[in-house]
Chain A
Amino acid sequence: MTVPTTTVRPTPEQVVLLAPDRAAAAAATAAADPGAWSAAGCDDEAVWGQYIATSAEPYEVAVDLGGPAFRCSCPSRKVPCKHCLGLLLLHAEQRVVPAKRLPFVQQWMQRRDRHPTAHPAAEVPAVQGAGDDEVGVAPDATGVRTSRSAVGDQQQRDQRRLDRAERMRAGLTELDRWLADRVRAGLASPELADPATWDRLASRLVDAQCGGLANRVKRVATRVGQHARWHEDVLEEMAVLHALARGALRTSALPEMLADGVHAATGLTVNKDDVLAGVASTSRWLVAGESRVREDRITVQRTWLCTQGDDPASPATTWAMVLAFGAFGNEVTTEHVVGTELHADVHWYPGATPLRALVGRQHEPPAPAHRAPTPHTVADAVAQAGLAVAREPWLERYPVLVSAVLVPVGNGRWMLADHTGAVPIAPGFWRLAEVIAVSGGQPLTIMGEHSADGVMPLSMWADGVAVAL
């Protein structure tokens, strides 16, 4: 049986020193909001609480002050995570009142008491936590944190990371070799017209955990035989795949932002908590458009948010793209309705062209926007898209917001035109007649995705009211 020890309450400065990185320290400050906690309590040995997150269930957070050791049910891999740090900050500021332990805290502390290495008094250098999500960190005499985290866990994580990197390397090398083989044999080779050829490659890329590249390969396959000059389209996409494969094999030699972009394009995921721990952009975001694409058995929904600067003549437009996925039989839900406005924090994923983002805290409930956003000229919009593509040549689409008239160019094709030029409307847009009917031949504010095929309209504004397309 262990003798309870009375611990000294840490100061906020000491708590901040426990943070694994600067982002976590910043996020901890935000998490130290008493309104975000329920059932928070403390005693001489521990402090605990339930953090009300955006997920269905609150995160169960507990900190053993004797270790200190941390337990949190959030998915973050950081130890201590921002919730533990936020709770400790609250405790340091004496905003956690003494209370009876919650059941999960009681069980966890009992397990720790039984554990021979639970307390630093035992003078054991490293602690293997009782739970998977528990890791101990002991401040040393100088106040600099010293990791006592589970060495075994860390080794396993490192090993998993190495295994994945090796699989990805093998997949990328194979992809690049496959591309060269196709160019060697010729794009006119009948093998290329066989969908199984592409499917096999995509499957191998999935096995290599390069999901992003696998999806691209499947999209390239659909271009084979699409029109008389399909070889050009396919060579174009193969060249981009080649660049991505080569880039992904040498990310250490790339600038950090570019490497992040390559990682995202190849399919490496970033932890949501890490993204949310980044610096937020707080603004009034207009839900400008939404697109849904069926990829294999998954529906990918892109919701485009935009915010504009103060200059009414030519406001700079900042974009953010929120991705949502719906598996077969579990359709994706529309969280943000086109035409509404959010006053919210937006956190971007890392990359040379920050587009993909998460919506963090919403400061006000969404409300219908009462006016259309200020559009750009066609030339400006295309130039912005070009700039983004120059930063990340594999970028497949970029949002544009233009005021333009629709102009037929024959053969069933239409363009969006203004005094600065015209861009084609992408093939496959099937609600053209509705846009033309609303426009009445007059300029119309249209938001769409600009790609190598043209602009795919996603929404339009008729008399200030957004219409999703």
Chain B
Amino acid sequence: MTESLPSRQHVTGSASVLGASAADEWAALVATAVLGTDRRLPPPPLPGWDAWGRAADPAVAVLDRSVAIVAARRAGACPVPAPEGVLRPAPFDDRPLCPLPCGIRLARILAGEHDVLLPEWLALVEGLGVQLPWVSLPTLLLRARRNPRLDQVVRRLARGRAAWLADAVPELGVSVQGLVPKADSPPFAPPPRMPDSGAVVASIVTLFVDGQATWATAGQLRILTAAIDPVWLPSLVVELSRMPFQAGTERTRADVLGLAEFRLEMHREIDAARIATAPSTAPSTAPSPASSSAHSSSSTGEPA
């Protein structure tokens, strides 16, 4: 493994710029230093390098001469000629860029913050019709290596850039063609919206009021919070925020409240991006999933 790493001199190629005398002088000094001046005295300096190394002690002379070479090589380092045409450009993508807040939100999700929301984020962005935030593409592809359904979604959203990246960076270990999911594997999609989200929110709040929302129930409550219709998220946030402190449920409350707030912010960012990217001629013809849900929910009644 370590054999494959080139030395600095080989990497920068700067010694070649200094000319053969510097390379020869350096090679002689390295050979002497490796063996030790007790075994081998340094050869006399080559022309151009004889101003240094006048010390009586051969070891000090080797160090003095090395300083001259190192200083000259570092200060005179030049770029090597650029290799040409090795990396082909990624396929052109005419979609708008992903809005910055949405990209930051994805990075937070991928960093482990409420990653239960990843399917929903991907679905919302797909509906928005924007590019993926490319900085997160490698992480998404790496995460999808064990989940062919996610791989499908990511490649669909990334269009040709996923395959391009996998081909360009083989060290990433991502398949260029993509993974084939098993027929019976579940789709990588957000959980279906609960038709009775209002009742679910009321149930969650009741659990906290009754002191039954212990940490053991947190996982289930998180799944419910991730599945309720987004129009009910503000109600849930308000109810959980004004809940009095109970030692037995406080940890769960903070956890569920954090998720609800995070998801609510996510929907707001997507809605803002949708308004920003909507054609000016028809600003209200493409309602968001959140707003469409709002319509459907409002027909069933406002949150209590």
Chain A residues packing against B (C-beta within 8 Å): 179-181, 183-189, 225-233, 235-236, 238-240, 242-243, 378-379, 382, 385-387, 389-390, 393, 405-409, 411-413, 415, 417-424, 427, 432-434, 436-438, 440-442, 452-454, 462-463, 465, 467
Contacts and interface: CB of A to CB of B under 8 A. Distances in A.
B75 A437 contact: no
B169 A436 contact: yes
B242 interface: no
Interface of B: 2-12, 26, 29-30, 32-39, 57-60, 62-64, 66-67, 69-71, 74-83, 86-90, 97, 100, 134-139, 161, 164-165, 168-169, 171-172
A180 B60 contact: yes
Given A440-B161, A452-B74, A180 B5 contact: no
B34 A408 contact: no
Given A232-B9, A422-B79, A434-B139, 9 more contacts: A183-B59, A188-B36, A228-B7, A229-B6, A232-B7, A239-B69, A393-B70, A411-B4, A415-B82
B8 A452 contact: yes
Contacts of A230: 7
B73 to A, nearest CB: 8
A401 to B, nearest CB: 15
Contacts of B8: 232-233, 236, 452-453
Given A229-B7, A236-B8, A437-B138, A442 B89 contact: yes
A232 B32 CA distance: 11
Question: Chain A interface secondary structure, helix, strand, loop or mixed?
Answer: mixed
B82 A235 contact: no
Contact of B66 (A228, A235, A415, A421): A235
Contacts of A184: 36-38, 58-59
B74 to A, nearest CB: 5
Contacts of B64: 242
A188 B172 CA distance: 36
Of A181, A183, A232, A421, most B-chain CB atoms within 10 Å: A183
B11 A185 contact: no
7 contacts: A186-B38, A228-B3, A238-B66, A389-B74, A413-B6, A418-B82, A433-B165
B291 to A, nearest CB: 28
Contacts of A235: 29-30, 33, 66
A389 B73 CA distance: 10
Contact of A407 (B10, B83, B135): B83
A180 B32 CA distance: 13
Contacts of A436: 87, 165, 168-169
Nearest to B60: A180
A353 to B, nearest CB: 12
A227 B135 contact: no
A243 B74 CA distance: 14
A417 to B, nearest CB: 4
Contact of A386 (B6, B29, B76): B76
A417 B164 CA distance: 20
A180 B135 contact: no
Contact of A239 (B63, B100, B134): B63
B90 A440 contact: yes
Contacts of A406: 87
A422 B82 contact: yes
B67 A393 contact: yes
A454 B79 contact: no
